[in-house]
Amino acid sequence: MARQKLVFLFCLPVITCFLVLSLAHSTTSAQGSLCSDFVFPNDKVFASCTVLPCLDSFLHWTHNPSSSTLHIAYRHTQVSPSTWVAWGINPISIGMIGTQAIVAYPKPDGTMVVFTSPISHYEIQLREGNLSFPVSDLSASYFNNEMILFVVIELPENTTSVNHVWQHGPVFGSNLGMHQVSRNHLQSMGALDLSSGQDSTSAQVSLCSDFVFPNNRVFASCTVLPYLDSFLHWTHNASSSTLHIAYRHTQVSSSTWVAWGINPFSIGMIGTQAIVAYPKPDGTVVVFTSPISRYEIQLREGNLSFPVSDLSASYFNNEMLIFVVIELPENTTSVNHVWQHGPVFGSNLGMHQVARNHLQSIGALDLSSGQASTSTQGSSCSDFVFPNDKVFASCTVLPYLDSFLHWTHNASSSTLHIAYRHTQVSSSTWVAWGINPISIGMIGTQAIVAYPKPDGTVVVFTSPISRYGTQLREGNLSFPVSDLSASYFDNEMIIFVVTELPKNTTSVNHVWQHGPVSGSNLGMHQVSRNHLQSMGTLDLSSGQASTSDEGRFFERN
């Protein structure tokens, strides 16, 4: 079985080893080592390689226009031996229905089952059957938690693009179970441009537009919300200034409340006029309105700042549906909205989590175009109050690992004041943030590392990373730092530091990460996509941050 060309590093117990690879961009113009450098066991070579945006997958492919064939190697990483994987082409539409799939899974004896499966309707069981186009050279392999499917597909002549879908789910003996319906699974689809060798991810998911409501209601617009496994169906009636809403929140247990609301005053939670619902043990659903005027644990019933009607909610199969009609001011063209969920303890509604998915579940609806957009700023960033009343000029919601960066650049003194907040970390976790003054990625990063000890104190130290396999050792950085400290409270680590930069510095590359702690031993971080892409750039002039699409990331042996 093929192995990636990785260097295996043996680490002492008290250190963390970093192995660096190049990140593959989603087009062939910026291929990284996980794509372009992968060596297949039979020395097959493919013209294009795509890092798929969901489900830890890669697609290697070659289109031969003269023979109208598409040669595919689909790699699905981080899968257990009790998992099926599938990749397929949908020749008739975007989404699952109509997909002509290749399915594979490993058997307990180590052999592979691989078969074709046309998907004509929603069902639990993937069934073997002929596809709508010829296929050949079909095979699959499984090694080191990675599944690879090989297939050659015969396409109609002059085909220039194809829609594709990929997925995984559980295996119970010889029965293939249903995949999850979290956002990663619902958006694992895209399009291959056979002429350019590029891939794009579809922004539409059939679970949105094809959903059939029990009362046969129909809505003009449907939005796949980017966080918390939610969907918003809505119709704006300009003549009556009403907004008809069906908010669907999937993957919620019977001990969960959900909420959706409009904020007529600002972006974020404070000021939101919310609809809240939760199921009771007897199967009925409680639904009420709740104006949110301040941060507090308990959602309280009260009148909203605008009239509502036809308020109802239902709960079935781990999905909550909220229906409401909202009367808006005349000539309203857009509204800010918020959605959320949290735990229920009896009749008490607990606080939602403060992970990034929960903190960024805000956006805007353009009532004229029927389009929705997601806000890039979360109230938990700009509204955060530090215990020592420190204030920072800029705040960035980092796109990975539930983290926030507060920062102030003082050009006159060439200093950068940092508060790095890493949420949702247990007391057995280390976190790190650093600047790379020489390149993008790990090598050269000048890092600040912190972790809590069992006695409640926090260890914080500087660690320069100078080469492949560099150990997280304490050492001086390449630039002066001062006011270094860290705190840990309520599953949140905060690192404070002031860095002295070279004069006239206008931007810096930065990296952030976390991993496990066992006693005083710092273990290796995970290698999921969130961990591999936790890097970006700070523009010191504008106060804006961007995320790198290329560069290096951390990998473990």
pLDDT in tens, 244-269: 999 999 888 999 999 999 998 777 77
- In whole angstroms, give the CA distance from residue 268 to residue 272: 7
Q: Are residues 193 and 222 in the same domain?
A: no
Mean pLDDT of 401-427: 89
Cβ atoms within 10 Å, residue 485? 13
Backbone angles phi, psi at 86, to 5 degrees: -150, 145
Q: Is residue 287 part of a domain?
A: yes
Q: Could you tell me the strand order of the sheet in which 394-397 lies?
A: 394-397, 403-410, 415-422, 492-500, 481-489
Q: Is residue 172 part of a domain?
A: yes
Q: Is residue 41 part of a domain?
A: no
* CA atoms lying within 13 Å on the CB side of residue 310: 11
| pLDDT value at residue 296 | 59
Instruction: Please tell me which residue, 296 or 186, carries the higher pLDDT value.
Output: 186
Lowest-confidence segment of 330-339, 361-370, 457-466 by average pLDDT: 361-370
Lowest-confidence segment of 144-148, 545-549, 550-554 by average pLDDT: 550-554
* CA atoms lying within 13 Å on the CB side of residue 539: 8
| pLDDT value at residue 520 | 78
Q: Are residues 208 and 314 in the same domain?
A: yes
- Calculate the CA 107 to chain-centre distance: 31
| pLDDT value at residue 23 | 25
The helix or strand, by DSSP H or E, that contains position 529, with its residue range, turns out to be helix 529-532
Last residue of one domain, picked from the residues 168, 197, 226: 197
Q: Are residues 75 and 190 in the same domain?
A: yes
Q: Is the pLDDT of residue 30 over 50?
A: no
Q: Are residues 191 and 110 in the same domain?
A: yes
Mean pLDDT of 336-358: 85
Work out the pLDDT band at 98, boundaries 50, 70, 90: confident
Can you give the residue range of the structural domain that contains 240?
202-370
Q: Is the pLDDT of residue 557 over 90?
A: no
Work out the pLDDT band at 368, boundaries 50, 70, 90: confident
Q: Are residues 181 and 210 in the same domain?
A: no
For 103-134, the pLDDT digits (tens) are 999 999 989 999 999 987 655 578 899 999 99
Q: Is residue 94 part of a domain?
A: yes
Q: Are residues 418 and 347 in the same domain?
A: no
CATH of the domain at 343: 2.60.40.1210
Last residue of one domain, picked from the residues 174, 197, 220: 197
Q: 342: Cβ–Cβ under 8 A, 6 or more apart, which residues?
A: 256, 257, 349, 350, 351, 352, 353
| pLDDT value at residue 33 | 47
Q: Are residues 264 and 137 in the same domain?
A: no
Work out the pLDDT band at 355, boundaries 50, 70, 90: low
Q: Is residue 456 part of a domain?
A: yes
For 169-222, the pLDDT digits (tens) are 999 888 898 887 666 777 788 888 887 776 655 433 446 766 888 777 888 888
Q: Is residue 458 part of a domain?
A: yes
- In whole angstroms, give the CA distance from residue 546 to residue 537: 5
Q: 93: Cβ–Cβ under 8 A, 6 or more apart, which residues?
A: 163, 206
- In whole angstroms, give the CA distance from residue 538 to residue 542: 9
Q: Is residue 160 part of a domain?
A: yes
| pLDDT value at residue 356 | 60
| pLDDT value at residue 367 | 87
User: Do residues 179 and 96 touch, judged by C-beta distance below 8 A?
Assistant: no
Q: What's the CA dihedral at 79, 84, 89, 90 to 10 degrees?
A: -120
Lowest-confidence segment of 277-291, 301-315, 411-425 by average pLDDT: 411-425
Mean pLDDT of 447-463: 93
392 CB-contact burial (10 Å; exposed 0-12 / middle 13-18 / buried 19+): middle
Q: Can you tell me whether residue 411 is helix, strand or coil?
A: coil
Q: Are residues 223 and 360 in the same domain?
A: yes
- In whole angstroms, give the CA distance from residue 517 to residue 61: 40
Q: Is the pLDDT of residue 16 over 50?
A: no
Q: Are residues 354 and 409 in the same domain?
A: no
pTM of the predicted protein model: 0.42
For 79-92, the pLDDT digits (tens) are 999 999 999 998 87
Q: Are residues 228 and 328 in the same domain?
A: yes
| pLDDT value at residue 6 | 25
Q: Are residues 69 and 161 in the same domain?
A: yes
- In whole angstroms, give the CA distance from residue 297 to residue 215: 34
Q: Is residue 530 part of a domain?
A: yes
Last residue of one domain, picked from the residues 166, 197, 228: 197
Instruction: Please tell me which residue, 124 or 7, carries the higher pLDDT value.
Output: 124
- Calculate the CA 443 to chain-centre distance: 25
Q: 532: Cβ–Cβ under 8 A, 6 or more apart, which residues?
A: 23, 553, 554, 555
- In whole angstroms, give the CA distance from residue 425 to residue 432: 12
Mean pLDDT of 438-463: 90
Alpha helices (runs of H) in 243-395, residue ranges in sequence order: 356-359, 379-382
Q: Among residues of the chain, what percentage have pLDDT more than 90? A: 41
Mean pLDDT of 322-329: 96
Instruction: Please name every residue paired with 309 in a beta bridge, in sequence order, or none if there are none.
Output: 325
Q: Are residues 163 and 208 in the same domain?
A: no
For 45-93, the pLDDT digits (tens) are 888 888 887 888 899 999 999 999 999 999 998 899 999 999 999 887 7
Tally of structural domains, the chain: 3
| pLDDT value at residue 358 | 78
Work out the pLDDT band at 484, boundaries 50, 70, 90: very high
Q: Mean pLDDT of all residues in the chain?
A: 81
Q: Highest mean pLDDT range out of 14-18, 201-205, 331-335, 432-436?
A: 432-436
Q: 446: Cβ–Cβ under 8 A, 6 or more apart, which residues?
A: 434, 435, 436, 437, 462, 464, 465, 477, 478, 479
User: Do residues 450 and 458 touch, judged by C-beta distance below 8 A?
Assistant: yes
